[in-house]
């Protein structure tokens, strides 16, 4: 039976559940509203939607726009689960092509929502290990930085995993993670190992750095979604300040007994710098860790790696020839075009590739570096300033907007 023949309430209930599911996958408010608008039209209804990170408003009607059924609910900010997002997108396409009937679609959506992650707890810990080590290798040729950062990352993963399961500790989980990173990095440096503590702190907590949230917020504000974009921007700023407070507190704790730390690594001199081609291995490892962290199925990890390599290659070429802002712009532009081509040709959600690519070039780490330099006087990344980070975010947002202008996607996700 075609979906249009089902009752009004059955169809609206499905759309409400679909909206919840998309939010739980970390889809942006702009894409959720656009996708629900397409689905409601496909089901023979009329609707209007207002989505934000913390509240959902659904309005439905059949003929008279003033005779509406309205559903409002409070939701919690969600993490990214791009593997589930991909499955939901395929389900909606199956309904549209009538290869899946409406009754089966309701059950399939429930199954998708209740399905376990594609990767186990040890694999997620391994992803954090890769993220810390690979990001440190991208920023520095010092082997000690790349050796220490991944182990601190795994320890932070265990701490955050434990504290996030408790309601009263969840708000301070990021602070504890950053505090642990700052304390251990400074302690190891005080013991005589030739490392860069601020860089190790940044590499260890890079998963928490809200660079992607900053980018999404600016993109939504540029598209006119002021409520969602503004709330995301404030949340990202608060997360960044909590991370900085935790890292600064951890470093300060070490200074209380700095002189008492035994120089157990003093006999170790600096190791030779890693070769320049390490960047490409680190990039592949970083892409793999992103895919695991975003719950992308193993058979589709190749698309994530393609996006990561495309973003980094074009960003590097642009920066080398035209400067840092042009590099960020070209990296975002290339990522957006590749993602939209993927959406047009292979019918996959472009947001999956965009998210993977932007995580590589996103300048959130630069903002953290600037905060660190303002307070401690130590520079993590050379040549950064507040205006540099702001212009990098603007360039990144502009690249994504121009990508959609040059080659618009035919899918709402």
Distance CA 296, CA 291 (A): 5
Residue pair 294/119 in contact (Cβ under 8 Å)? The answer is no
Distance CA 47, CA 60 (A): 4
Task: Label residue 259 by pLDDT band (50, 70, 90).
Answer: low
Report the share of the chain in percent with pLDDT over 70.
Answer: 89
Domain boundary among 71, 94, 114: 114
pLDDT tens readout for residues 145-167? 888 999 999 999 998 888 877 87
Residue 7 has a pLDDT of 78
- In this predicted structure, the answer to whether residue 375 has a pLDDT above a threshold of 70 is no
Q: Are residues 80 and 62 in the same domain?
A: yes
Task: Label residue 366 by pLDDT band (50, 70, 90).
Answer: low
Tell me, yes or no, whether 27 lies in a domain: yes
Residue pair 137/46 in contact (Cβ under 8 Å)? The answer is no
> Taking residues 291-306, what's their average pLDDT?
88
Q: Are residues 223 and 353 in the same domain?
A: yes
Tell me, yes or no, whether 178 lies in a domain: no
Beta strand pairing status for 46-51 and 55-61?
antiparallel
Task: Label residue 370 by pLDDT band (50, 70, 90).
Answer: low
Between 389 and 376, the more confident residue is: 389
The reported pTM is: 0.84
Residue 2 has a pLDDT of 62
Q: Are residues 288 and 341 in the same domain?
A: yes
Tell me, yes or no, whether 110 lies in a domain: yes
Return the SS3 of 267. Answer: coil
Report the share of the chain in percent with pLDDT over 90.
Answer: 5
Residue 379 has a pLDDT of 52
Which residues are within 8 A (CB) of 154 and not within 5 positions of it... i.e. 6 or more apart? 125, 128, 129, 132
Q: Are residues 129 and 107 in the same domain?
A: no
Residue pair 379/369 in contact (Cβ under 8 Å)? The answer is yes
State which residues form the domain around 52. 3-114
Residue 374 has a pLDDT of 43
Distance CA 288, CA 301 (A): 7
Q: Are residues 127 and 109 in the same domain?
A: no
Q: Are residues 98 and 127 in the same domain?
A: no
> Taking residues 299-312, what's their average pLDDT?
88
| Burial group, residue 306, by CB count within 10 angstroms (0-12, 13-18, 19+) | middle
Among residues 293, 290, 307, 297, the alpha carbon closest in space to that of 112 is found at 297
Q: What is 49-95 written as a DSSP string?
A: EEE-SSEEEEEEESS-TTS-EEEEEE-------HHHHHHHHHHHHHH
Q: Are residues 89 and 133 in the same domain?
A: no
CB atoms within 10 A of CB 57: 14
Q: Are residues 219 and 346 in the same domain?
A: yes
Distance CA 191, CA 187 (A): 6
- In this predicted structure, the answer to whether residue 101 has a pLDDT above a threshold of 60 is yes
Domain boundary among 98, 114, 130: 114
Task: Label residue 364 by pLDDT band (50, 70, 90).
Answer: very low
Tell me, yes or no, whether 162 lies in a domain: no
Number of independent structural domains in the chain: 2
Quote the radius of gyration of the chain (alpha carbons, Å): 23
Tell me, yes or no, whether 20 lies in a domain: yes
- In this predicted structure, the answer to whether residue 4 has a pLDDT above a threshold of 70 is no
Between 45 and 102, the more confident residue is: 45
Task: Label residue 363 by pLDDT band (50, 70, 90).
Answer: low
Cα angle 294, 300, 304 (rounded to 5 degrees) comes to 60
Among residues 354, 372, 134, the alpha carbon closest in space to that of 241 is found at 372
> Taking residues 279-304, what's their average pLDDT?
88
pLDDT tens readout for residues 240-250? 888 888 888 88
> Per this entry, what is the length of the chain?
413
Q: Are residues 135 and 266 in the same domain?
A: yes
Q: Are residues 16 and 130 in the same domain?
A: no
Among residues 269, 253, 271, the alpha carbon closest in space to that of 261 is found at 253
Among residues 343, 300, 400, the alpha carbon closest in space to that of 84 is found at 300
- In this predicted structure, the answer to whether residue 384 has a pLDDT above a threshold of 60 is no
Residue pair 335/403 in contact (Cβ under 8 Å)? The answer is yes
- In this predicted structure, the answer to whether residue 371 has a pLDDT above a threshold of 70 is no
Tell me, yes or no, whether 83 lies in a domain: yes
Q: What is the CATH number of the domain that holds 26?
A: 3.30.1300
Q: What is the mean pLDDT of the chain?
A: 82
């Amino acid at each position: 039976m075609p979906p249009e023949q089902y009752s009004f309430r059955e169809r609206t209930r499905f759309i409400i559940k679909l909206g919840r599911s998309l939010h739980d996958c970390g889809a942006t408010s702009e894409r959720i509203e656009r996708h629900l608008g397409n689905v409601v039209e496909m089901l023979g209804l009329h609707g209007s939607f207002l989505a934000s990170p913390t509240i959902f408003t659904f309005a439905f009607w059949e003929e008279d726009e003033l005779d509406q059924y309205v559903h409002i609910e409070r939701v919690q900010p969600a993490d990214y689960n791009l593997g589930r997002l991909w499955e939901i997108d395929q389900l909606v396409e199956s309904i549209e092509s009538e290869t899946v009937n409406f009754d089966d679609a309701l059950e399939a959506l429930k199954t998708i929502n209740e399905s376990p992650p594609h990767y186990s707890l040890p694999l997620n810990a391994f992803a954090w290990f890769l993220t810390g080590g690979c990001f440190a290798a991208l920023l520095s040729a010092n082997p000690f930085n790349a050796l220490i950062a991944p182990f601190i990352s795994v320890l932070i993963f265990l701490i955050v995993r434990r504290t996030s399961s408790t309601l009263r500790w969840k708000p301070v989980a990021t602070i504890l993670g950053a505090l642990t990173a700052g304390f251990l990095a400074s302690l190891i440096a005080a013991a005589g190992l030739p490392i860069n503590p601020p860089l190790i702190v940044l590499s260890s907590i890079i998963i928490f750095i809200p660079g992607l949230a900053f980018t999404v917020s600016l993109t939504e504000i540029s598209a006119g979604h002021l409520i969602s974009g503004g709330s995301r921007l404030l949340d990202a700023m608060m997360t960044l300040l909590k991370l900085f407070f935790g890292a600064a507190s951890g470093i300060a704790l070490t200074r209380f007994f700095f002189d008492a730390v035994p120089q157990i690594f003093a006999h170790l001199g600096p190791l030779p710098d890693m070769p320049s081609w390490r960047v490409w291995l680190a990039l592949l490892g970083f892409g793999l860790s992103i895919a695991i962290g975003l719950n992308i199925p193993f058979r589709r990890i190749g698309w994530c790696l393609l996006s990561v390599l495309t973003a980094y290659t074009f960003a590097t070429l642009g920066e080398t020839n035209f400067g840092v802002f042009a590099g960020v712009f070209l990296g975002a532009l290339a990522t957006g075009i590749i993602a939209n081509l993927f959406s047009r040709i292979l019918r996959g959600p472009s947001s999956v590739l965009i998210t993977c690519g932007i995580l590589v070039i996103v300048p959130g780490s630069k903002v953290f570096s600037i905060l660190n330099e303002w307070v401690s006087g130590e520079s993590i990344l050379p040549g950064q300033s507040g205006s540099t980070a702001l212009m990098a975010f603007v360039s990144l947002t502009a690249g994504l907007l121009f990508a959609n202008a040059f080659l618009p996607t035919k899918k709402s996700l």
